[in-house]
Amino acid sequence: MCAQVAATSTDVLLASYDAVPYGGGAIVATRPDYLAANARLRGVDAPDAARCRVLDLGCATGGNLMAMALAFPESEFVGVDLSPKQIAAARDTTRVLELPNARFEAISITDIGDALGTFDYIISHGVYSWVPESVQRALLGVIGRTLTPNGIAYVSYNTYPGWHARAIVRDMMLFHDRPDLPPDERVRRGRKLLELVASSVPKSQQVYAAVLREEIETLGTVNDSYVVHEELEAENHPVYFSEFAQSAEVAGLRFLCEAYPSVTDVQLSAALRDELRQLSADEIQYEQYLDFVRNRTFRRSLLCRANRTIARDPDPAVLQSMFLRARCVAEPPSRTSEPGTEVFRTSAGASITMAHPVVRAALHALIEARPAALTFADLLGETRARIATGMDLSAELLADAMLRCAMVRLLDLTTHAERCATRLSRCPVASPLARHEARTESLVTSLSHVQVRLSEFDRALLTRLDGTRDELALVHEMMVACAGADIGLGTSPERRAVEETVHAALEQYRLCALLIE
């Protein structure tokens, strides 16, 4: 009976993901050099990302893995997914891009044996909470069996207590759902119901109304595929972090840290941290109490072998062996700005005010170096050159400051620097993956492993950046393209307008790490 239930659940999942592919875009936190940097901060010497084996459990159409394969040609990448349709799409793209170091297999996680070998890095994004408990155990079991002694695994999942509130909205949408309808119609019906209910909540139920409004705003930022698989899928099983950690322990694994630092955690007072630690018997309990405090809904947890020794807090001294890359821009000063302060805006849209001259100087050095990452030694030299004469700046002080900036996502830490163009060449060349994606999608993957949204004009221009055209030729071709269709400048734009738009777009491609050296 249990076997029949499992088979039925698998069949339902397969039909769902074949009908509505989940997509496979870049997830920067899953890249091996980022995982290695996170591990090193906590005393775990992870394998070299430039020569490693990576397994992606639930790879979808493979975009995330292919971006890694382009970045690390001497590493090997294996993607596994239940959906033959998505695997076929991944294989087609691999052939087009000529990626011999990436392969994809249509197989259930429950059927993975020893044939695939062992892996230095194993990633599984958007799978654990969306499969039955038996598959969850199998997923952690695969990691436990195939992870190398120094390897690092990444697993994302929905968490309580935050998902208790979100489940109200999900249950409502499921009750109203008509699975026989086309996916876009199912999503439209669900969104309309939420709007109706939220607008009708009585004043005495404002907490309930706020929950609904927050969820409506969240769903307004995502595509239909996300809504189908997050809110309308039969399988969605959030867990408490402590439960996940216990399941990992059964598989011979232990929690290392989160792939993304939490700004909320950084903002917690030292007194509250101390009080929570006094309540906690170990790090797992402490992390669970943190989730209670911040009402966390989602985690991206890193795992390692259970026998590894882990530092409780990240070691800033390790930054001196890393590369640092800006994830922020400096906002122009306003009339209300405090003297001696600056506001830096992260790629996620958060604004953070900085007053310390060393931090401000270092961030400006990183911003001006974009899209390149700087070695710590280079950053130290650049920062010293920018601060006031006579101000002492040690490597230890800068490392501590930059670790704090990384914790609030103002910068990225990595063990390797991308091979992206830092200046415009005569005949620009865009990433082959981004060119391929631009033919059919508005979101493309940069060489720094983030997704960049392009306009219709930008997409058309990017597909032509294969190194055979200089800027003059690109302007001519875009004039022809505009005459054939309105791609953002009208069908009869002035040549000067096209010239300016092409040049501005090329510069933005460079800043976004879409161009190859």
Q: Which DSSP string corresponds to 332-357?
A: PP-TTPPTT-EEEEETTS-EEEE--H
Read off the pLDDT of residues 38-64 as tens digits, 9 standing for 90 and up. Answer: 999 999 999 999 999 999 999 999 999
pLDDT at residue 314 in the model:
92
Res. 69: pLDDT tops 90: yes
Report pTM.
0.89
Residue with tokens 């408490």: 240
Residue with tokens 């940097």: 37
In this structure, are strands 374-375 and 323-326 parallel, antiparallel, or unpaired? antiparallel
Specify whether the CB–CB gap between 376 and 393 falls below 8 A: no
Q: How many CA atoms lie within 13 A of 193 on its CB side?
A: 17
Res. 259: pLDDT tops 70: yes
Specify whether the CB–CB gap between 14 and 118 falls below 8 A: no
- Closest alpha carbon to 57 in 4, 2, 136, 3: 136
Res. 16: pLDDT tops 50: no
Read off the pLDDT of residues 278-304 as tens digits, 9 standing for 90 and up. Answer: 999 999 999 999 999 999 999 999 999
DSSP state of 515: B
Separation of alpha carbons 126 and 58, rounded Å: 8
pLDDT at residue 6 in the model:
39
Res. 444: pLDDT tops 70: yes
Q: How many CA atoms lie within 13 A of 111 on its CB side?
A: 10
Q: The tokens of 112 are what? A: 């993975």
- Closest alpha carbon to 407 in 278, 268, 293, 288: 268
pLDDT at residue 18 in the model:
43
Read off the pLDDT of residues 378-428 as tens digits, 9 standing for 90 and up. Answer: 999 999 999 987 788 999 999 999 999 999 899 999 999 988 999 999 999
The partner residues of 324 in beta bridges, in order of sequence, read 374, 413
Residue ranges in 423-511 assigned as alpha helix (H): 432-438, 456-462, 471-484, 495-511
Percentage with pLDDT > 90 across the chain = 72
Q: Which residue has the higher pLDDT, 9 or 346?
A: 346
The partner residues of 345 in beta bridges, in order of sequence, read 329, 351
Read off the pLDDT of residues 220-239 as tens digits, 9 standing for 90 and up. Answer: 777 777 788 778 887 889 99
Length of the chain: 517
CATH architecture of 316-414: Alpha-Beta Complex (3.90)
Count CB neighbours of 183 within 10 A: 17
Return residue ranges of the chain for CATH 3.90.930: 316-414
pLDDT at residue 264 in the model:
66
How many angstroms separate the first and last alpha carbons of the chain? 58
pLDDT at residue 319 in the model:
96
Return residue ranges of the chain for CATH 3.40.50.150: 2-159+237-305
Separation of alpha carbons 140 and 153, rounded Å: 10
Q: What is the full DSSP assignment across 76-114?
A: EEEEEES-HHHHHHHHHHHHHHT-TTEEEEE--GGG--S
Task: Please write down the HEC assignment for all residues of 201-259.
Answer: CCHHHHHHHHHHHHHHHHHCCCCHHHHHHHHCCCCCCCEEHHHHHHHHHHCCEEEEEEC
In this structure, are strands 451-453 and 443-445 parallel, antiparallel, or unpaired? antiparallel
Specify whether the CB–CB gap between 40 and 109 falls below 8 A: no
- CATH code of domain 2-159+237-305: 3.40.50.150
> What are the strands, taking DSSP E only, across 31-178?
53-57, 76-81, 102-106, 119-124, 147-160
Read off the pLDDT of residues 470-483 as tens digits, 9 standing for 90 and up. Answer: 999 999 999 999 99
Q: Which residue has the higher pLDDT, 269 or 430?
A: 430
Distance, C-alpha 219 to centroid of its chain: 18
Q: What is the sign of the dihedral through the CA atoms of 196, 198, 199 and 203?
A: positive
